[in-house]
Amino acid sequence: MTGRPGPTTRVRVRRLTGATAGDRRDDLATEEPLEIRVASPDGARRTVAITMRTPGHDFELAAGFLHGEGLAAADGIAAIGYCTDEDVPAQARYNTVTVRLRGPVPDLPSLDRHFLTSSACGVCGSAGLDTLRDRCHPLPPGSVVVTPETLYGLPDRLRAAQGVFGKTGGLHAAGLFTAEGELVAVREDVGRHNAVDKLVGWAALNRRLPLDRHVLMVSGRTSYEIMQKALAAGVPVVCAVSAPSSLAVELAREFGMTLVGFLRGRRCNVYAGYDRVRELVE
């Protein structure tokens, strides 16, 4: 592929309906690798991540990833662009992003092994809670109050904003909402964690961090990686239509976050941070 990949890819399929068969076109969610590189003013550069993602909002994805991993804040980024280095073949240039930093490339042990990620599992070997404690602090209580009625409306509002999902049926989404349930921004990707990175990257590049007055709603389940990214962005309330992992709940409770799971219809489970859901019926 020499052109810029899009979020959807059209293919021919054979559809079976009962005893009949017919050929038709179908739209799939595109999945392509993205290599994230960082470069410093002195010319040093390094690959920090290779992830499988849905093309689109690639610069936000890079910025959000670096912020979530504590590698570069928004004010530490001078520019982001697709890579034109000589070692990158023409067909891969839209799959390689270089983030030019204002300072030196971070000298962190994690960069020595790179972050190898997939569209499914998040960052492999991601920093544990001990490392997270060194760079993140518990969120203050009481900054945001949500009602059950607000929570119940989030899944439908997120789904209505998923334009690419409507074509393919195969994408995750992350939506940023106000405490009153108004949609602020939404991003889609084949990977749950990538969708969150794109959303955080949007906020970082638009100087809207921390997101301490907002609610994050994600499709699928809530993993440790998603909670880590939300914490780094200052998000106090994280909701999902499916279940959280045990480590996600542990992180939420330790850092004072509200975590809502199985948010479907007019039901949900609140796993942590009950104080932010005011009208909770015991």
Sign of CA pseudo-dihedral 207, 232, 133, 118? negative
Chain-centroid distance of CA 239 in Å reads 13
Tell me what pLDDT residue 184 has. Answer: 97
Active-site residue, selected from the candidate residues 83, 121, 239, 268: 121
Number of H helices and number of E strands within the chain?
Answer: 8, 14
Angle in degrees, CA 112, 113, 119, rounded to 5: 135
Structure tokens at 155: 């899944």
Residue 121 annotated as catalytic: yes
Do 32-128 and 148-276 show the same overall fold? no
Kindly report whether the global pTM for this prediction surpasses the value 0.85.
Answer: yes
Residue 187 makes CB contacts below 8 A (sequence gap 6+) with 57, 60, 173, 174, 195, 196, 198, 199, 202
Q: What is the pLDDT of residues 69-97, one digit of tens each?
A: 888 988 999 999 998 777 777 777 899 99
Q: How far is CA 219 from CA 107, 141, 172, in A?
A: 34, 25, 6
Asked whether residue 199 is marked as a ligand-binding residue, the answer is no
- Say whether 37 counts as a known binding-site residue: no
* Bridge partner residues of 123 (DSSP): 117
| 267 appears as a binding residue in the annotation | yes
- The reply, when asked if residue 262 is annotated as ligand binding, is yes
Is residue 167 within 8 Å of residue 8, measured between CB atoms? yes
CATH number of 148-276: 3.40.140.10
- Residue 115: how many CB atoms within 10 A of its CB? 21
Residues of the chain with pLDDT under 70: 1-2, 107-128, 164-170, 279-282
What are the extents of the domains in the chain? 32-128, 148-276
Q: What's the pLDDT at 15? A: 84
Q: Judge whether 56 is annotated as a binding position.
A: no
Q: What is the predicted pLDDT for the residue at 280?
A: 53
51, 119 contact by CB (below 8 A):
yes
Note the pLDDT tens digit of each residue in 217-242.
Answer: 999 899 999 999 999 999 999 999 99
Annotated binding residue 102 = no
Give the dihedral of Cα atoms 87, 88, 91, 94; nearest 10 deg.
Answer: -170
Domain 32-128 has CATH 3.40.50.1950: no
